[in-house]
Every structure is written in C-alpha cells, then in structure tokens.
C-alpha cells in the first residue's frame, strides 16, 4: 500500500525517504515480533550486538555498494571478490610468511585491483557496469577455485587470537540463570563498521558524491567499493 | 545531392551492420580458435539418421538460452532493467508441466500439449506478477524479479513435492532428443520455430516501435499515445511465455525436474547475450538478431573452453577475461575512436579522389 502512494506525484515524502521509512518500520516490527516470540533471547543486549558482530561484512559491503549505486552503477561481483579475498588471505596466513598486516595489505591490494579494473572500464570506456562486474564475478570465482578448491582452516595463532578477540562492555549485560552478570561483547569488526559508517556519513554530508550524481561516473570513485569490501577481511566468515 | 543521399543510406546500413559487428566478429574469432585447435570442427556424424557434431551440439545446448535472451532483450529494451528471476520462473513453469504430465495418467501427445499450455499460463501469471510490480508499482525490475529469484526454487520444489521427479515417457524423450525420422534434434527445431514466431510478430505488429519508444523516453511515448505501463507489462508477459518454453525444453532435455539446478544462473548468460548482441542494458533500441547470435556465442565460448582442455577450476577466469576483452572492443569509446580513425583515413582518400570533381563537399564529417 505504501509503495502505491509513492507513485502518486502529490506525496510529500521523496521516494528514497519513503523506502528508508519502510525499511526502518519493518526492522522495528520484526524486532518487536522476535521479542514477543522469543523474549528470553531477544530481550538481551547481546542479541542486538550480535546483529552487528555477525553482519559486519554485510554492512561494509553495503556501504561500498551504496557509493556505486549513488553514481548510477551496480556491482554484482562483491560477493565473489570477498570470497577471493578471504581465500587469498587464508592461504597467505597459512603459509610460512603469513602475517596479519600482510594479509590486510593483500586484501586491500586485491580489492583495489578489482576496483581499478572495474572503475577504468566503466568510467572511462563507458561499458555497462552490470556486464563488467559480471565478468569480474566470473574472474574472482575462477581465481578462487584456481587458488584452492576446498575450504581451509586458518590455524595461525595470531589470527585466531584476533578472531576470538572481543571487546567487553562492562556496564551492559544480563544476569544468567545462576545470577552471574555476563557483560556484552562486541567484535573488532563492529568498530570497523562504526568508523566506516562515520566516514561515509561525513562523505555524504560534504555532498560531493550525491550532488554531482551521474557526473561522478567519470571519476575513480568506482575504485572505492572493493577497497571497502576488503577491509572486512579478518572477520569474514569464509576463513573460519 | 544524390551522392549525399546515397551516402546517408549507406551509413544507415553500416550502422545496422555495426550493431551486429561485435557478436559476429566474436563468433568468427571463436570459430578460428576452434579450427586452429582441430580442423574437424565443422564435421558432422550421422548416428541413426540424426546429425551430431560440434555445431549441432551448440545449437542444441543453447536452445533455452536463445529463447530466454529473446525475452530478456524485450524486457531490457522496454523497462530499462533486467529480469533476474528467469531461471527460477522457468523452474516453476516446468514444475507445473511435470506435475500435470505425471498426474494425467497415460501420457499422450494431448496431455503433453495440455501440460505445456498450462505451464504457459503459469508463465503468464509470473509475467503478470513481475509486470505489475514493475509497471504499476514502479519497482526497479531487478529488485522486483529478485523476489522470484529468491523464492522461485522453493515454490518449484513445493509443486514437485519431492526432489527431481522423473519424466520417463517416449514423447518427452522425443521432445528432449530426437523424433525418429527427423535428422535434427527437436530442441533445435523448437528454437527455430520460436524465433520464427517472434520474427513474424515483430514484423507484422508495431511492437518494436512501441517498445523502443518506451525504452528511449517513457514520457515522450506517453505524450504520443503509447501507454508505457502497458508496454512494459506486455514485455513481462512475453518474458513469461519465453520462460515457459525454455523450461519446457530444459525439462524434456534433462528427463527429470531438478528444482535445485535446472537453468541455474542462466540469467547471467542471458543478460550477457543481450549485451554481446550490441544492445544497451539501459533500454531503447534493440536487436533480437544480435541477442540470438550472442546467446549462441556464449554457448560456443563455453564449449570452446572445454574443447581447449582448460582446467575446470580456471575456466571461469578465462571466460571473464574473454568477456572483458570483448566488451572493451565493443565499448562506445573504443568504437568512436575507431570510427574517427576510419573516417580520417576515408576522408583523406576521398579528398584526393574528389579533388578533381567536387572540392567543396569534402569537409563535411
């Protein structure tokens, strides 16, 4: 029904605002429904934080895709790229010269390389984004299976420590059945998400991208997506 | 005067050809690669009175893709977006087909035809669903069809009731492979018939004009008396028929209805076929011939990579590199640049030739 209103020219809300409103309402409604049906778990703060703990990669990729879509493009290869990045980093970590910082650099490198390829082809050669990123999807999938066919476990101690590292929030938490106070925990990925969201909001406030809109397709802003994608690497589920 | 008219006519003709230049050149390139690999590429073998070989295999393998890319071309041209749920829609229609064929008791030609017609109706229903979302509610096509993309296979599984019901009877076997006495595999014939029907429809009606005008500028089309909503809705209906036919062919080829893997990710290939065919993915003018050639090209590319004995792990990377090169060659910037170079060469030559007769008319273009 609400989307019906969106088509009428007289509505005050702009289309994107309306969609945002719908999404927010749906989120709140679903959360309330979950609280009603599972009051034991969804009333805890930890469950709310787990949304961010588990979905940090998704949020970061959404931010990257957001930039691309504002300038009128699309990137369908981010999932495959993310897979390639995780596999490459996992293999680097498992090898003898593996280090966390090396893996981070490798992740950024792969992401930026894909971004440069896509960005150049789309912005300067004016090829349709869908097709180029489709090719990028195939490329990333092909490279992934070329690197390694089976899932691998990363056993490097420093990485495992980073993966299991959690930040506790001492003043928030719940009492368990025995009456012991359990504080909430967040993963470092959430910090990355928050930093990126703030950066992104600042970028949007400066109105560079949204004001210029389609003109910006001629700029290397396309290169931003995958680099945003790859910062999430240490927390990506593929490595587990 | 007359010369310039001839020149214009020639130019229009060249423009039409240049749309097909990309897919045709790729086709030629692939054929050359295949001929280098083995000179027996075009060889046929007759097995029990039926042609087999590389080319018949490509025509056979690409039949669903060709049909779907025809529908995709129309949807893309009118709605300026792509239908990404075609594989899933075809799975649903073929599930209905299999359900009817298995529950009708004795399988005769009549029940198969009835089942096919029923699956066409289901395809139309899917088209109505997508078309309503896109044209009336103005959801972006890719988002609207994402609904079926996510839910389609579950619906097909529910219709099936079990994993991959088997369609074992003579008639569907003949539709999937060969009819005795006919030297060409049946899916090829069905594809050709479908292409012919589409060609006749486009030739005899104003559909092409309407779709192109809606795709180029919906508001201008509306002011000229064409209802963009109706046209977009219509393209989704045609897409529904296309998915029904493609699902029919696919399920008869496979002999069973695998609701998980049937025509999986075929929308990627279909969109690629549309793009290789020289069509803009942002709507407007379209060339169905190009899309058909593009679809066959993709099938040929897949089979060429297999023929070159590239490892299965790297095959996708090679495909990607090929597509990237292809799109770079066919990109507008490169095309304009090449056009300029050719023009310069041509005008230079023209100037020297025309100097004696008409020195004035050389500076244009």
Does the structure's ipTM exceed the value 0.85?
no
Reported CATH class of domain B2-310: mainly alpha
Please state, in angstroms and rounded to a whole number, the distance separating the CA atoms of residues B170 and B246: 20
Interface list for B 308-337 with A (CB within 8 A): 311-321, 323-324, 327-328, 331-334
Please state, in angstroms and rounded to a whole number, the distance separating the CA atoms of residues A170 and B279: 59
Look at residue A2 in the predicted model and tell me its pLDDT.
Answer: 45
- Report yes or no: B229 at the A interface, CB cutoff 8 Å: no
- Report yes or no: B190 at the A interface, CB cutoff 8 Å: no
Closest Cβ opposite residue A139 in set B139, B275, B317: B317
CA-derived radius of gyration, chain A? 21
The encoded tokens of residue B11 equal: 């130019």
The SS3 assignment for A184 reads: strand
Q: How far is CA B328 from CA A120, A121, A132, A210, A220, in A?
A: 11, 7, 9, 28, 18
Q: Which residues in chain A show pLDDT less than 50?
A: 1-8, 213-240
Question: Which of chain B's residues have a Cβ under 8 Å away from the Cβ of A125?
Answer: 328, 331-334
Buried b (16+ CB within 10 A) or exposed e, B9-22: eeeeeeeeeebbbb
- Best residue in B142, B316, B322, B326 to probe A by mutation, most A CBs within 10 Å? B316
% helix, strand, coil for chain B, step of 5: 75, 5, 20
Helix B186-204 crosses helix B207-216 at what angle (to 10 degrees)? Answer: 80
Give pTM, 2 decimals.
0.78
| For chain B, domain boundaries | 2-310
- Report yes or no: B226 at the A interface, CB cutoff 8 Å: no
Please state, in angstroms and rounded to a whole number, the distance separating the CA atoms of residues B143 and B83: 9
CB atoms within 10 A of CB B277: 25
Closest Cβ opposite residue A142 in set B280, B315, B333: B315
- Report yes or no: A47 at the B interface, CB cutoff 8 Å: no
Closest Cβ opposite residue A146 in set B138, B268, B313: B313
Please state, in angstroms and rounded to a whole number, the distance separating the CA atoms of residues B274 and B66: 10
Look at residue B65 in the predicted model and tell me its pLDDT.
Answer: 94
The SS3 assignment for A73 reads: coil
With an 8 Å Cβ cutoff, are B331 and A127 in contact?
yes
Residue A226's nearest CA partner among A117, A103, A145 is A117
CB atoms within 10 A of CB B193: 11
Closest Cβ opposite residue A126 in set B275, B317, B332: B332
Look at residue A26 in the predicted model and tell me its pLDDT.
Answer: 94
Digitized pLDDT (tens) for each residue of chain B, 365 residues in all: 455 555 555 555 555 566 677 778 888 888 888 888 877 777 778 777 778 888 888 899 999 999 999 999 999 999 888 898 999 999 999 999 999 988 887 888 888 999 999 999 999 999 999 999 999 988 888 889 989 999 999 999 999 888 888 888 888 888 888 888 888 889 999 999 999 999 999 999 999 999 999 999 999 999 999 999 999 999 999 999 999 999 999 999 988 888 888 888 898 889 889 988 888 888 888 999 999 999 999 998 888 888 888 888 888 888 888 888 878 877 778 878 888 888 888 777 655 555 555 444 444 44
Pairing between β-strand B50-53 and β-strand B44-47 as defined by DSSP bridges: antiparallel
Look at residue A210 in the predicted model and tell me its pLDDT.
Answer: 53
Q: How far is CA A123 from CA A72, A132, A235, B311, in A?
A: 11, 11, 31, 33
Evaluate the CA torsion angle B290, B296, B299, B305 in order and state its sign.
negative
Residue B141's nearest CA partner among A162, A130, A145 is A130
Please state, in angstroms and rounded to a whole number, the distance separating the CA atoms of residues B209 and B286: 10
Please state, in angstroms and rounded to a whole number, the distance separating the CA atoms of residues B297 and A35: 54
Please state, in angstroms and rounded to a whole number, the distance separating the CA atoms of residues A215 and A123: 10
């Amino acid at each position: 029904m609400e989307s019906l209103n969106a088509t009428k020219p007289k509505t005050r809300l702009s289309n994107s605002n309306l969609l945002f409103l719908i999404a927010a309402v749906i989120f709140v409604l679903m959360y309330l429904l979950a609280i009603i049906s599972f009051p034991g778990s969804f009333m805890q703060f930890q469950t709310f934080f787990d949304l961010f703990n588990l979905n940090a990669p998704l949020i970061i990729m959404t931010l990257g895709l957001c930039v691309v879509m504002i300038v009128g493009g699309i990137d369908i290869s981010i999932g495959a790229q993310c897979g390639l990045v995780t596999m490459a980093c996992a293999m680097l970590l498992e090898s003898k010269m593996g280090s966390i910082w090396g893996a981070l650099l490798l992740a950024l490198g792969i992401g930026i390389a894909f971004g440069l390829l896509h960005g150049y082809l789309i912005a300067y050669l004016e090829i349709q984004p869908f097709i180029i990123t489709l090719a990028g999807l195939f490329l990333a999938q092909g490279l992934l299976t070329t690197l390694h066919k089976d899932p691998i476990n990363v056993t490097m101690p420093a990485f495992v420590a980073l993966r299991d590292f959690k930040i506790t929030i001492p003043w928030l938490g719940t009492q368990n059945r025995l009456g012991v106070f359990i504080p909430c925990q967040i993963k470092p990925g959430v910090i990355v998400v928050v930093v990126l969201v703030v950066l992104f909001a600042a970028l949007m406030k400066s109105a560079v991208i949204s004001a210029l809109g389609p003109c910006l397709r001629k700029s290397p802003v396309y290169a931003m997506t995958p680099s945003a994608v790859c910062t999430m690497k240490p927390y990506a589920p593929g490595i587990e | 005067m007359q010369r310039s008219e001839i020149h214009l006519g020639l130019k229009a003709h060249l423009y039409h050809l240049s749309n097909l230049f990309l897919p045709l050149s790729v086709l030629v390139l692939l054929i050359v690669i295949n001929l280098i690999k083995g000179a027996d590429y075009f060889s046929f073998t007759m097995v029990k009175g039926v042609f087999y070989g590389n080319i018949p295999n490509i025509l056979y393998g690409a039949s669903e893709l060709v049909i779907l890319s025809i529908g995709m071309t129309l949807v893309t041209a009118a709605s300026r977006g792509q239908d990404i749920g075609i594989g899933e829609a075809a799975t649903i229609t073929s599930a209905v087909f299999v359900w009817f064929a298995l529950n009708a008791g004795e399988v005769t030609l009549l029940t198969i035809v009835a089942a096919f017609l029923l699956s066409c109706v289901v395809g139309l229903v899917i088209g109505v669903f997508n078309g309503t979302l896109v044209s009336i509610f103005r959801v972006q096509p890719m988002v609207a069809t994402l609904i079926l993309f996510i839910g389609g296979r579950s619906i097909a599984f529910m219709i099936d009731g079990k994993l991959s019901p088997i369609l074992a009877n003579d008639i569907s076997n003949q539709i999937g492979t060969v009819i005795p006495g006919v030297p060409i595999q049946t899916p090829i014939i069905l594809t050709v018939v479908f292409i012919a029907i589409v060609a006749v429809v486009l030739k005899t009606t104003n559909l092409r004009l309407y779709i192109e005008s809606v795709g180029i500028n919906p508001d201008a089309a509306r002011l000229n008396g064409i209802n963009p909503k109706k046209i977009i809705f219509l393209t989704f209906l045609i897409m529904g028929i296309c998915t029904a036919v493609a699902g029919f062919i696919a399920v008869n080829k496979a002999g069973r209805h695998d609701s998980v893997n049937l025509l999986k990710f075929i929308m990627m290939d279909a969109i690629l076929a549309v793009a290789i065919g020289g069509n803009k993915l942002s709507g407007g003018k379209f060339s169905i011939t190009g899309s058909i050639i593009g679809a066959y090209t993709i099938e040929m590319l897949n089979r060429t990579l297999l023929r070159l004995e590239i490892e299965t792990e790297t095959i996708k990377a090679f495909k990607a590199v090929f597509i990237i090169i292809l799109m770079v060659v066919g990109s507008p910037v490169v095309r304009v640049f090449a056009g300029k170079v050719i023009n310069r060469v041509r005008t230079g030559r023209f100037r020297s030739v025309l100097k004696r007769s008409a020195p004035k008319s050389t500076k244009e273009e």
